[in-house]
Amino acid sequence: MSVKELHKATQSQEYFVNMGPQHPSTHGVLRLLLTLDGETITKVEPHLGYIHRSIEKMCEKDSYQQIVHLTDRMDYLSCHMNNEAVCLAVEKGLELEVSDRVKVIRTIMSELTRLSSHQLWWGVMGMDLGAITSFLYGFRDREMITDIFEETCGARLTMNYNVPGGVMFDIPANFQTKVKEFITHFRKKLPEYDQLMTNNIIFRNRTEGIGILTKEDAISFGVTGPSGRASGWSNDIRKSHSYSAYDRVDFKEIIRTEGDSFARYKARIDEMWESMNIIEQLIDNVPEGSCREKTKAVIKLPKMEIYQSVETARGELGVYINSDGKKNPYRVKFRSPGFSNLNALNTMAKGGKIADLVTIMSTIDLVIPDIDR
């Protein structure tokens, strides 16, 4: 041991700090146990369970129609995709083919949900880094989408719009005009996001090169969604296991190779442009047809196992249903994107400062109820 090392070993002292469970930048009740050396992080240990509601267990007593509304409460910002995942799984089990109209409506609604989720994320990310302005701009544009949701299904956040066999209500008459109005509006407003944040020097310095996640780590931790794609891993379920109407639209999968916080940020911004492209391709030709196939009042799946995954705003959401032929499932398991993405936090934050940890947590877009279920 050299003198310098000896000095360091006797002078430095590790200590623990609890970040959360009530920390504003964890966006919910997540407790991070930080091991610190000065201000440098040597270890991050997430502790879960503060908002565990045992949704998977509750599903075991619910009928298949009732499960859908519980998934609203997991990743509440991607509630439409969560609903869709369960409905697709049940439809797979029933071998029920939904009409083209349903597929297109579901796809448009999913992309609107993704847009609204990313807008909120953008606003909140600015706030985490100390820029409150972005929060107001993000919510301004998100308001238009929630208004569309409200008019379509009566709820703004926990929508419960999908039912096994279709969607609960048909789209209202002014749906198309409203969505087009929003797209025109948002195409003008999205460059403002770049002007306010992306090009801001303080923001750049706080994100570039911070929290690097290599492609290997992304794959081994299963970091999906924009966070994984920013590390160069192509994992878009919409492309690889296409569902609903994604096979008939033309869109790019956003892949970046840097793997740092800025790449994750930029991936989401670019995804918003792509989502708008998808909606524009579909909105003018929503096929005619019924918006809901008739199902039995009591849905019974045959004895089988089903797995269905969808791409939510945060990554791959998998629904596993094990049915024993009764009207309730025997076991339901959700593979939630937030949980896997959180696992990579230690790898990304090690060696950085506490302020960097806040940046990293913002860029992997944590939603705690999704992690805890």
Point out which residues bind other proteins (CB under 8 A).
Answer: 62, 65-66, 69-70, 72, 133, 137, 140, 143, 150-155, 158, 160, 168-169, 172, 192, 195-197, 199-202, 204, 297
Nearer to other proteins among residue 87 and residue 345 (C-beta): 87
What is the closest distance, in whole angstroms, from the C-beta atom of residue 129 to other proteins in the complex?
Answer: 13
Nearer to other proteins among residue 139 and residue 281 (C-beta): 139
CB 83 within 8 A of CB 71: yes
Nearer to other proteins among residue 3 and residue 201 (C-beta): 201
What is the closest distance, in whole angstroms, from the C-beta atom of residue 119 to other proteins in the complex?
Answer: 14
What is the closest distance, in whole angstroms, from the C-beta atom of residue 186 to other proteins in the complex?
Answer: 14
Instruction: Enumerate residues 6+ apart whose C-beta is below 8 A from 168.
Output: 153, 160, 161, 162, 292
* Phi and psi at residue 123, to the nearest 5°: -60, -45
Nearer to other proteins among residue 51 and residue 354 (C-beta): 51
Nearer to other proteins among residue 67 and residue 366 (C-beta): 67
DSSP 194: I
What is the closest distance, in whole angstroms, from the C-beta atom of residue 160 to other proteins in the complex?
Answer: 5
Q: What is the DSSP secondary-structure string of 90-131?
A: HHHHHTPPPPHHHHHHHHHHHHHHHHHHHHHHHHHHHHHTT-
DSSP 287: P
DSSP 61: T
Among residues 207, 231, 169, which one has the least CA distance to residue 363? 207
What is the closest distance, in whole angstroms, from the C-beta atom of residue 142 to other proteins in the complex?
Answer: 11
DSSP-derived 3-state class of residue 302: coil
CA separation for the pair 365, 342 (Å, rounded): 9
Structure tokens at 84: 């869709």
What is the closest distance, in whole angstroms, from the C-beta atom of residue 338 to other proteins in the complex?
Answer: 21
Nearer to other proteins among residue 151 and residue 280 (C-beta): 151
